[in-house]
């Protein structure tokens, strides 16, 4: 008895919450029972009659054949057509039917009709393809960044270093003071160029990300930022000791990089806290600052930085949220489910 009640409980939950429209109708197509999804999709009510679809309205009938193709065939596993709905338009649906009850004495029949919104299915497919395209674009961009960073470090960087060594050798043979001073100025410019190449290479793709992982690279980023932003206190907390998947490491690093860039450029904060933690269910990244805050409505419409962060988190099947009030700082919360999409 208890098992039966439990089964009925879950069947009811499925009936009320499933996204497909479920309708029980009789052979006159009168609706006997319908779930909330069917009502939202069609606008029909119990005791209404299920209208004929576009196919049935136009198909040629044989002698004594039921106009409704679904009822005529008792069971139809898959059928696409347009169905009139409450708003006066027709909706594209995938339909299937099954004979649920047949009283042999009276001839009474009841049918299960399942409706699946094809427009919604197409939108979901478009969203899936769009997400895949964004993922491929991000991957291509990161691969190009990695290649360029390697070229700068191993190519341009090494060439400049060779020139620096040669210049040092030349200086040892120069005795004329004015020329020696000039060579000193050239050396300063060369050192500046070498530092710029190193900085550009790091911004494109930190080598520590591939060698040491996300935590070490965030720590390195913070150390670099502190050198040029003496008044900004950055606190980084984490319980992660192991390496994460490459996709998670590069995307979360870019999120942290973008967030700190925005804080320095726009928020004028004096304190930033970054918390990266992992538990049995998820990976969490929270970034908060005590800056001037901003209007979320305006930034959501025009803030490319926020959009890029959100897209990267979306590629990890995660959730991205941001809370900000003018004068009260900003809080970014990111949650990535463990095991989702093979990310761990």
pLDDT, tens only, 188-224: 887 787 777 766 666 677 777 878 899 999 998 899 8
3-state secondary structure of 217: helix
The rounded distance, in Å, linking the Cα atoms of 197 and 191 is 10
Are 243 and 344 a contacting pair, CB within 8 Å? Answer: no
Mean pLDDT of 36-47: 87
Task: Give the position of tokens 């009283």.
Answer: 103
> How many other C-beta atoms are found inside a 10 Å radius of the C-beta of residue 90?
14
Are 313 and 251 a contacting pair, CB within 8 Å? Answer: yes
Give the HSE-up count for residue 19: Cα atoms under 13 Å, Cβ half-sphere. Answer: 7
CATH 3.30.450.20 fits 18-117, yes or no: yes
pLDDT at 184: 78
Among left, alpha and beta (phi > 0; psi -120 to 50; other), residue 317 is left
pLDDT at 120: 72
pLDDT at 64: 80
The neighbouring-strand residues paired with 90 are: 84
What are the boundaries of each domain within the chain?
Answer: 18-117, 207-344
pLDDT of residue 6 exceeding 80, the answer is no
Q: Tokens at residue 39, please?
A: 């009502």
Q: Which of 269, 259, 255 is nearest to 314 (CA)?
A: 255
Mean pLDDT of 127-143: 70
Has this prediction a pTM greater than 0.75? no
pLDDT at 234: 95
3-state secondary structure of 253: helix
Pairing, β 76-84 against β 90-102: antiparallel
Q: Tokens at residue 148, please?
A: 């360029």
pLDDT of residue 326 exceeding 80, the answer is yes
Question: Among residues of the chain, what percentage have pLDDT more than 70?
Answer: 81
3-state secondary structure of 59: coil
Pairing, β 233-238 against β 271-278: parallel
pLDDT at 74: 65
Are 117 and 91 a contacting pair, CB within 8 Å? Answer: yes
pLDDT of residue 321 exceeding 50, the answer is yes
The chain-wide mean pLDDT, for the chain, equals: 81
Are 138 and 312 a contacting pair, CB within 8 Å? Answer: yes
Stronger pLDDT, 99 or 10, i.e. the higher one = 99
CA 132 to chain centre: 10
pLDDT of residue 268 exceeding 80, the answer is yes
Q: Tokens at residue 54, please?
A: 């576009």
Q: Which CATH class is domain 207-344?
A: alpha beta
Q: Which of 238, 246, 153, 158 is nearest to 204 (CA)?
A: 153
């Amino acid at each position: 008895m208890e098992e039966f009640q439990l089964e009925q409980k879950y069947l009811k939950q499925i009936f009320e919450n499933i996204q497909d429209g479920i309708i029980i109708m009789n052979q006159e197509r009168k609706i006997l029972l319908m779930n909330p999804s069917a009502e939202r999709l069609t606008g029909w009510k119990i005791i209404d009659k299920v209208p004929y679809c576009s196919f049935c309205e136009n198909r040629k009938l044989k002698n004594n054949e039921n106009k409704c193709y679904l009822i005529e065939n008792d069971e139809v596993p898959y059928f696409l057509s347009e169905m009139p709905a409450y708003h006066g338009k027709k909706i594209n649906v995938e339909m299937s039917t099954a004979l649920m009850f047949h009283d042999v004495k009276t001839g009474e029949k009841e049918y299960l009709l399942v409706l699946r919104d094809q427009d919604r299915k197409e939108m979901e497919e478009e969203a899936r393809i769009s997400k895949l395209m964004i993922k491929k674009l991000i991957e291509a961009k990161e691969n190009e960044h990695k290649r360029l960073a390697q070229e700068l470090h191993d190519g341009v960087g090494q060439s400049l270093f060779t020139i620096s060594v040669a210049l040092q050798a030349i200086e040892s043979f120069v005795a004329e003071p004015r020329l020696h001073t000039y060579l000193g100025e050239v050396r300063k410019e060369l050192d500046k160029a070498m530092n710029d190449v190193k900085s550009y290479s790091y911004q494109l793709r930190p080598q520590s990300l591939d060698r040491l992982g996300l935590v070490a690279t965030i720590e390195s980023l913070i150390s670099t930022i502190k050198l040029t932003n003496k008044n900004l206190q950055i606190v980084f907390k984490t319980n992660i000791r192991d390496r994460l998947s490459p996709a998670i490491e590069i995307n979360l690093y870019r999120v942290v990089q973008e967030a700190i860039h925005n804080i320095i450029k726009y928020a004028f904060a004096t304190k930033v806290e970054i918390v990266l933690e992992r538990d049995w269910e998820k990976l969490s990244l929270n970034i908060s600052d005590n800056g001037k805050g901003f209007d979320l409505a305006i930034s959501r419409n025009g803030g490319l930085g926020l959009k890029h962060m959100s897209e990267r988190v979306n590629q990890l099947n995660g959730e991205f949220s941001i809370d900000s009030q003018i004068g009260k700082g900003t809080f970014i919360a990111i949650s990535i489910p463990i095991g989702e999409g093979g990310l761990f």
